[in-house]
Amino acid sequence: MKMKAMVLNHPRKPLKLTELPIPAPEPSQLLVRVLACGVCRTDLHVVDGELPEPKLPLIPGHEIVGRVVKKGRDVERFVVGERIGIPWLGKTCGVCKYCKGGQENLCDNALFTGYTIDGGYAEYTVANENFCFKIPENYSDEKAAPLLCAGLIGYRSLRMAGEATNLGLYGFGAAAHIIIQVALHEGRKVYAFTSPGDREKQKFALSLGAVWAGDSTESPPQMLDAAIIYAPVGSLVPSALKAVRKGGVVVCAGIHMSDIPSFPYRILWEERVIRSVANLTRRDGEEFMEVAAKVRIKNETTPFPLEKANEALETLRSGKLKGAAVLIMG
């Protein structure tokens, strides 16, 4: 049997609608009929050649919501017909020092959905049962898809921000518009920073509960305890350092960022910290799905049919997208 898929054959080239055989699950894998797949900025970095050495040809996509249609012979966790989510982290070795030390997100031999293994820009996909999650029932397929990366990486970056009361979010896209809702649920105050002149996204941030919204070139009305940078713009690091208090932390949440310009040591001094976020762990996923079930996050999504994946990527690239783009399978 055949399926439709949007395939990347060469970086910096458009995806090509292709008919492929439906994959067969290995013993520990699930065959999943894809219902929806979010279009993530990481997908854009893969397609634009900013992440090195992707599997080629490649089916991108790692914010996958689907239903199990077949199980490998060793699968124990899910049943046929169950709705599940498939995230970025596709498999780890389980034996390296990082896996054994509770840092499987840093595994030396990890595989990543939609990057080193095929993802969800297709009607069907396969996934290792141990790296899939149950999806809260109070989300539609379209609204659940962005939880699988924008939500998960956003959640991990929020935890790395510590107990910050006054929290800055730089770049107000798919991840930030989810995490502001979690942060407010936890009693934090959120300050939103957008591209210069982007009044629409500033209004969007305020409508979600931000206490202040302004350009990334501006200073917030008070010092921040922590800042999370979701935009892949290295020049935001010095800006965020200037905005955080002594002992504050700046979290770089993206998998790719332009070069960080040089900056004076005095804005890092006084025990300010810069740290990055790399991938996610299964524990992150389990914790966040429990949070998402309680918070009832309101996702802003724009649906596209599978065949319009290139259009969805271009809309994301242009910066005109409010919230997240999601591919809906026919």
At the topology level, CATH places domain 2-148+299-328 in: Quinone Oxidoreductase; Chain A, domain 1 (3.90.180)
**Chain centre distance of CA 231:** 12
Average pLDDT over every residue of 113-122: 98
21 token code pair: 């055989």
Q: What is the dihedral of CA 210, 279, 277, 8, to 10 degrees?
A: -80
End-to-end CA distance of the chain: 17
Confidence of residue 25 (pLDDT cuts 50, 70, 90): very high
Per-residue pLDDT, 197: 85
- Answer whether residue 321 shows pLDDT above 90: no
pLDDT in tens, 59-68: 999 999 999 9
Distance CA 148, CA 137 (A): 14
Q: Answer whether CATH 1.10.760.10 is correct for domain 152-276.
A: no
Portion of the chain with pLDDT greater than 70, in percent: 100
Q: Could you give phi then psi for residue 186, rounded to 5 degrees? A: -85, 0
> How much is the mean pLDDT over the chain?
96
- The answer on pLDDT for 250 being more than 90 is yes
Q: What is the pLDDT of residues 131-158, one digit of tens each?
A: 999 999 999 999 999 999 999 999 999 9
- 226: CB partners within 8 A, 6+ apart: 161, 162, 164, 167, 168, 244, 248, 249, 250, 251
Instruction: Using a pLDDT cut of 90, give the percent of the chain over it.
Output: 94
What residue ranges do the domains of the chain occupy? 2-148+299-328, 152-276
167-194 tens-digit pLDDT: 999 999 889 999 999 999 999 999 999 9
Kindly tell me if the per-residue pLDDT of 319 is higher than 90.
no
- Look up the pTM and report it: 0.92
- Residues with Cβ within 8 Å of 64's Cβ and at least 6 positions away in sequence, in order, are 32, 34, 36, 37, 38, 85, 86, 87, 113, 119, 120, 125, 127, 145, 148
pLDDT for residue 52: 92
Residue keyed to tokens 């596709």? 90
